[in-house]
Structures are given as structure tokens and as C-alpha cells.
A and B are shown apart, each in its own frame.
Chain A
Amino acid sequence: MAGTTIVVTSGKGGVGKTTSTANIGTALAMHDKKVCLIDADIGLRNLDVVMGLENRIVYDIVDVVENNCRMEQAMIRDKRYDGLFLLPAAQTRDKTSVTPYQMKELIEKLKEDMDYVIVDSPAGIEQGFKNAISGADRAVIITTPEVSAVRDADRIIGLLEAEGIYKPEVIINRIRVDMVEKGDMMGIEDMIEILAIELLGIVPEDEGIVVSTNRGEPIALNDKSKAGQAYRNIARRIMGEDLPIMKLEKESFLSRFKKLVGLS
């Protein structure tokens, strides 16, 4: 089997790449997909904590690249799903410890027996980003509904195209339902139109994400959470399903009425 490599990236930092990588990977594993997550944020390792696997790390990606261990020795199996693995970043090294070429080679080998390889990219557009996107077949850009984040997302779309990665998709994260209802937020359609990019999904702002990160249990595991549902939907879209984008706002009586009489 030759799997698909998906890089999860963003222009602006802190918008939810690591959270999204962990949740998409977990949700794909729920569908019995064989998935390996790669933490490409060398020096600022985080995905291990979000996945709750930090105490199992022996080797890391730099060890693999430097032939200190075999790939399988560095891959950590998830606690919950047998088909889910993490290749952790090195914490005490820097971004230059791996070259884009090495990364590409590593991914080529890894995806031979995976359905999906998902790469968590570091913030920024420097070497770490170049590493993370080398070897990617698809790209998912994370943004929040803020002008600065969307602007940086646009930059990234351009850079990805320059690297031959076309048609990236976007996830708009941290959508505040109350702000959508009041019309205080940039509209999802507007953002999509301006970026001219396919929408892979929207994820609501959810305190549960912080709780789940602290516990090391991705929110996709929580079947009562809307954010969890959002990530499970995203995983199904990645697998090729054509699912409608979830409605976040509770439809008020007034808006239902307006629709009924054709006012909106």
C-alpha cells in the first residue's frame, strides 16, 4: 500500500496545527486506517503531549535520519488504536538537523505501509516549514477567522504552489458560535472566496480542547463534543466522503421565520 502524505500547516503560529494533526490522525484511525503522525516541529516538540504519548519516547526523527535507530524503533504506537503511530520530533536539536531531502526519503519509506502520513508543521516559512512540506501529496492549511491569520494563510498557499503542492484545503479553527450569530466574525464564505481554496472543515472554539490536550486525549475521541465531531467529519472528507459542512449556530426562531418568508 502506498499511502497519502498530508502536511498540516499554517502561516500564523498557534492557530491549531498540532491539535488538528492529533485529531485528524485519531479520527482516521477510528476508521481502521493505518496512520503515522510526524512531529516536524523539531526543538518544540508538542504532538507527543497532545497525543498523551510523551512518556514512551525513546528515539526521535533525528535519530532515524542519523541512523541511530531503525524507523520502527522510533515510531510510538498509540494507546488507543493499533494502527496509529507517532514519529516524535527531537527536542534538543534544531530545524537544520533534518534536510528537506532526508524528510522526503523518510516519508517515502514510511508511507509504503501506511494509509496516511500526517505531518505537523512548525509555524513560520523557514526551514522547518520546508522540511514539513517536502514529501507532501496534500496540504491542509489551518487558520482562525482573523484577518492576520487568513492573510498569512494566503502567503502559505502561494508558497505551497511554488513548491508544487497545488489545491491545498483549509480548516477554519476556533469559530465562536456567539460571534457568528451576532455577525461579528468574518464570514466563512467570504474567507473561502478570498483565499480561493477548498474548505475541508470548520472547528468551533471549544474549552474541551484545552482539557483534552492537558489529558493527552484528542477531542475526536469524545463523541459528545462538537469540536470532536468536526474533526471526525474532516477525517471522513479526507477519506473522500462528501459531507456537508456542519452548522454551528443554533437556528433561532427568528432566523427560521425569516428563511420561511424569504427574508434571508
Chain B
Amino acid sequence: MAKERLQFVLVQDRIKLTSDEMESMKEELIEVLTKYIDVDSSKIEMDVKREEDMTALVANFPLKGSR
């Protein structure tokens, strides 16, 4: 619970987007991706991760019907 809340605020802090902006970015990304592939929009995960030498937006777009 605490972990999820922390992750949520950190995504916004790190990427400097509001949750509305984040949401519309997600929608636009889905729009683009669905032009080419079949993504399962209910299972999308987005996270901003700090790594060794960079901060990266890591997104997971699971494909429909795949496992």
C-alpha cells in the first residue's frame, strides 16, 4: 500500500507531469500503439525508474491474447 503510493508520487515528481498529463500521455501512447499492435489497455503499467546513469520512463504494454 505505502509502496504503491510512493511509486505513484515519484512517477509524477520525476517526470514532472501532473496525473492528468500522465493520463493523456498514456492515452495517446495507446492510440499510437493500437495502430500497429493489439495492446491490452487494461494491463498497461508505467513507471519512472532511476537507473545507474539515467532516469527512464518504463512502460509495459502487454499484447492482447499473448502470455
Tell yes or no: B37 within 8 A of A by CB. no
Chain A contacts of B10 at CB under 8 A?
A: 151, 154, 194
Tell yes or no: A2 within 8 A of B by CB. no
CB of B58, distance to nearest CB on chain A (Å): 12
CB of A15, distance to nearest CB on chain B (Å): 15
Tell yes or no: A239 within 8 A of B by CB. no
A186 touches B3 (CB 8 A): yes
The complex places the Cα of A133 from the Cα of B56 at a distance, in Å, of: 26
CB of B9, distance to nearest CB on chain A (Å): 5
Tell yes or no: B50 within 8 A of A by CB. yes
Tell yes or no: B32 within 8 A of A by CB. no
Tell yes or no: B21 within 8 A of A by CB. no
Which chain B residue has the least Cβ–Cβ distance from A150? B6
The complex places the Cα of A65 from the Cα of B43 at a distance, in Å, of: 58
Partner of B6, one of A158, A194, A197: A194
Tell yes or no: B45 within 8 A of A by CB. no
The complex places the Cα of A211 from the Cα of B50 at a distance, in Å, of: 38
Residues of B28-61 at the interface with A, using a CB-CB cut-off of 8 Å, are 49-51, 55
Give the interface size bracket for A toward B: 10 to 19
Chain A contacts of B2 at CB under 8 A?
A: 146-147, 185-186
- For the A-B complex, the count of residue pairs with Cβ-Cβ distances under 8 Å equals 34
CB of A172, distance to nearest CB on chain B (Å): 13
Residues of A122-169 at the interface with B, using a CB-CB cut-off of 8 Å, are 146-147, 150-151, 154-155, 157-158
Tell yes or no: B7 within 8 A of A by CB. yes
Tell yes or no: B27 within 8 A of A by CB. no
Chain A contacts of B50 at CB under 8 A?
A: 154, 157, 195-197
Which chain A residue has the least Cβ–Cβ distance from B49? A196
Among the interface residues B3, B6, B13, which one has the most CB atoms of the partner chain A within 10 A?
B6
A187 touches B3 (CB 8 A): yes
B14 touches A194 (CB 8 A): no
Tell yes or no: A190 within 8 A of B by CB. yes
B7 touches A194 (CB 8 A): yes
Residues of A223-255 at the interface with B, using a CB-CB cut-off of 8 Å, are none
Partner of B51, one of A146, A151, A194, A196: A196
A151 touches B13 (CB 8 A): yes
* A157-B50, A187-B3, A195-B50 known; A151-B9 Cβ under 8 A: yes
B14 touches A154 (CB 8 A): yes
Chain B contacts of A191 at CB under 8 A?
A: 6
Tell yes or no: B67 within 8 A of A by CB. no
Chain B contacts of A194 at CB under 8 A?
A: 3, 6-7, 10
Chain A contacts of B55 at CB under 8 A?
A: 158
Chain A contacts of B7 at CB under 8 A?
A: 194
* A195-B50, A196-B51 known; A186-B6 Cβ under 8 A: yes
9 A-B pairs with least C-beta separation: A196-B50, A186-B2, A147-B6, A190-B3, A151-B9, A147-B5, A147-B2, A154-B10, A150-B6
Interchain residue pairs with CB less than 8 A apart (15): A147-B2, A147-B9, A154-B13, A157-B50, A158-B14, A186-B2, A186-B3, A186-B6, A190-B3, A191-B6, A194-B6, A195-B50, A196-B49, A196-B50, A196-B51
